[in-house]
Chain A
Amino acid sequence: MDLTRRDFLKGAAAVAAALGCELPGVRRVQRALGAGDDAGLPVVWLQGQSCSGCSISLMNSIEYGSIRDLLVETLDLEFHRTLMAASGDLAVSAAEDAYEAGGYALIVEGSIPLGAGGRYCMLWPEMTALDGVRRFARRASFVIGVGTCGAYGGLVAGAPNPTRARGLGTRFAGKTVINIPGCPSHPDWIVGTVGHLIAHGSAPKLDRYGRPEMFYGQQVHRRCPRRGTPAAHTLSDSGCLRHLGCKGPWARADCPVRRWNAAESGEAGVNWCVGAGSPCYGCTEPTFPDRMSPFYDLEA
């Protein structure tokens, strides 16, 4: 039994209503926040021990606006080393100019290593990720941890955490952190949260891990279409994956409703992990991966 399009739209509409307006039109809101005519929300996106998966996932955004809309209209992406035109000193100057202007959203993708004085991850010469994130947090209007690594350390902090990696946690440099975990994070969670910041000038309601409740309010299991169906006995069986290691009862995320990789705005995604026969492995949780491991339970 799959959720109908109507069920999805009811859920998505509620979130859209919370955002207050369509993303491409937020320029009006940004002007109200004091920015110039052509300005979007300034963003400094720093990558620590990142795999870039959250950035790639962000580029799949469609529900609340495409990446084209975000880059051309909604955001001023002052620094993002995957997309920016400048390299070397010119790129560093762009980050430093944003720092001087202040008032940006600092987005951190990837964990930050504390080991070796922070030198397991250099943002640029003489700037460790640790020093850089601390510095840029100081003049940020919003501090956001994207992906489970950026929020809580994630997989890089998996035991025995050889680089002493950490995420931003719920407070960093004296500021409340908005955490948008997932491995990777869903583009809608990122864009929807940023949209809320632009529309309302403040974070949406956060849970005790700093996650927006509008996306992470319920466990996967509660809205899983396989819930209550006869249990699968082996991989590729249909039915509930509870005997195969599924972490749906513990992992909070709206994946069963929103799904992943939608064709267009207003539609649920083409599939999702459980829909493709994979047990949920709890990638949005602070305890990912260690308390979600092993991901499969097949040897019964």
Chain B
Amino acid sequence: MVKAVNVSPMTRIEGHLDIEVDIEQFNGQWRVIDARCAGVMFRGFETILAGRDPRDATHYTQRICGVCPVSHAMAASMAMEDAFDVAAPDNGRLLRNLVLGANFIQSHVLHFYHLSAPDYVDTSGVLDRSPWIPRHTAEDMIGGDDAATIVGHYLQALEIRRKAHQMGAIFGGRLPGACNFVPGGSTCRFDRQQIDEFAALLTEIRQFIDEVYVPDVRALAGHFTAFTQLGQGPRNLLAYGVFDLDAAGADRLLARGRYEGETDSYHDVDALKIKEYVTHSWFTPVCGDRHPSEGVTEPDVDKQGAYSFIKAPRYEGAVYELGPLARMWVNGDYRKGISAIHRIEARALEAKKIADAMVGWLEQLQVGQAVYAHAATPTAATGTGLTEAPRGALGHWLGIEEGKIAHYQVITPTAWNASPTDGLEQFGAIEDALIQTPVRDSENPVELMRIVHSFDPCLACAVHMARPGRRARRIHVAG
């Protein structure tokens, strides 16, 4: 007997995500046998950007997502630098890394405490008001004094993530939505006092990461050992890399690379081998099998078998998972395992790695030296910007004609992670990760929530490009 379990809307993510799974009973235990991950909100950024001044792209694309806007500003700046043939001076590169790093830390802290922890902690008796009620229950949730401790850290983390944004805004102008990113570097000059302010906040934040965030994650991993075996996914990991350490952009804090799980091997990334497919997405067939530089997006609202407005990005036809686990694995910093818990742990350790590196970047800043190198907008050019958002590898592909945007395509990490099944009937990464998950109580499907949340999904990112169309009718079966 097969039952459908619908977690729609999925909350404590960014955006609009519906999760549907089918569960079947094996030896008294219900397990997921099929999964559909659907993005259900559309805006049409590609259409809105067409014909506009390319320099506006750093601001427009930041509104693809308010949790990872700085990554879009970075990717847009890099794509334009590629197209304009200009490079940022060292100060500009460092300032951008520092603002980006501040937002990575903010996002990771937000994700663990505010988006994930409620899946694992019984807050009754500690937080008995909305938005923490109503809540789901599970036998294995942390309770009692330990729960009270984590709730205290949750509240402290609200302040820490606010301070991470305060820190980034010193050079970014404001967060969310930094305004200092431009092709050619950064717009903001800076003085010694601002460096000292940034450094003081960084010290406080690093202390929180080392003394609170990482220990809490380690404790969670020790408590929920079952989830170190659940949510594995495709076991292929991909990263474009991020945080350029030199002007040439060849050396990065987190490297570019791929890991193939089946062969336990490591490889380069050639962005030309990325294509998007639309077999189960509401777009016409001509939109499929295309490199993003030639992306086409035409809706097909009556398409048989489609269930999502997210396209399916694939690398040489294979499914990849992106995110902190992918980055830390490819970089050699974390290879303990691939699961829901390992994603959470890698994310915390990555926050520490980035925060520690930011100390050195601050020291390299040179007051009074250039932050910006100007180049005129070309009449016709193309450019690619490959970087990382907190959730994974992020790419912008830009085409300029007559000095205006002719073509702008974005592939976000959540498009990869939350993609639907493709034409080879390969599940997207989150769908794959849900298969075989045991579900004890379909009214409280915390197992599904824990696995989906471990990817830190951002749906505004995943569907930014999608086109209008009618959703296929879904049948909801009472659990």
Q: State the A residues within 8 Å of B (CB).
A: 38, 40, 47-57, 59-62, 66-68, 71-72, 76-94, 113, 115-117, 119-125, 154-156, 158-163, 165, 183-184, 234-236, 238, 260-263, 269-273, 275-278, 281, 289, 293-296, 298-299
Decide if B261 is an interface residue (CB 8 Å cutoff): no
- Could you give 28 example pairs across A and B, Cβ below 8 Å? A52-B14, A72-B129, A79-B130, A79-B131, A80-B131, A81-B9, A82-B11, A86-B134, A86-B135, A87-B10, A87-B136, A113-B468, A116-B468, A122-B18, A122-B471, A123-B9, A160-B48, A162-B44, A183-B177, A236-B187, A270-B169, A271-B169, A271-B173, A278-B188, A298-B374, A298-B377, A299-B376, A299-B377
List residues of chain B with CB under 8 Å of any chain A CB.
6-16, 18, 40-44, 47-48, 52-53, 55-56, 59-60, 63-67, 69, 110, 114-115, 118, 123, 127, 129-136, 155, 158-159, 161-162, 165-166, 168-180, 182, 184-189, 197, 301, 370-372, 374, 376-377, 443, 445, 449, 460, 467-471, 474, 476
Residues of B within 8 A of A238 (CB): 189
Partner pick for A83 among B114, B165, B474, CB 8 A cutoff:
B114
Taking the closest CB of chain A, its distance from the CB of B344, in whole angstroms, is 18
User: Which residue of B118, B130, B470 contacts A94 across the interface (Cβ within 8 Å)?
Assistant: B130
Contacting pair A261 B169 (CB below 8 A): yes
Question: Do B132 and A125 touch (CB < 8 A)?
Answer: no
- Given B110, B134, B165, which contacts A90 in the complex, CB threshold below 8 Å? B134
A117 nearest in chain B by CB position: B470
B9, A236: Cβ atoms under 8 Å? no
Known contacts A122-B471, A162-B44, A270-B166, A260 near B56 by CB under 8 Å: no
Q: Which of B12, B162, B178, B468 contacts A62 (CB 8 A)?
A: B162
How many Å from the CB of B248 to the closest CB on chain A?
Answer: 22
Are A90 and B162 also in contact (CB < 8 A) when A57-B176, A276-B179 are?
A: no
Q: Give the CA-CA distance A76 to B47 in the complex, in Å.
A: 39
The answer to whether A277 and B42 touch across the interface, beta carbons within 8 angstroms, is: no
Q: List the A side residues contacting B189 at CB < 8 Å.
A: 236, 238, 277
Distance in angstroms from A181 CB to nearest chain B CB is: 13
Min CB distance A55 to B, Å, is 7
Most chain B beta carbons < 10 A, residue from A119, A122, A235 = A235
Within 8 Å by CB of A273, from B65, B170, B179, B471, lies B179
Q: When chains A and B are docked, how far (Å) is the Cα of A262 from the Cα of B167? A: 10
Cα separation A247 to B472 with both chains bound (whole Å): 44
A53 to B460, CA, bound (A): 11
Q: How far is the CA of A271 from the CA of B169 in the complex (A)?
A: 6
**Are B162 and A60 neighbours in the complex by a CB distance under 8 Å?**
yes
Given contacts A235-B187, A277-B188, contact A271 B170 (CB under 8 A): yes
Chain A residues near B123: list those with CB within 8 A.
85
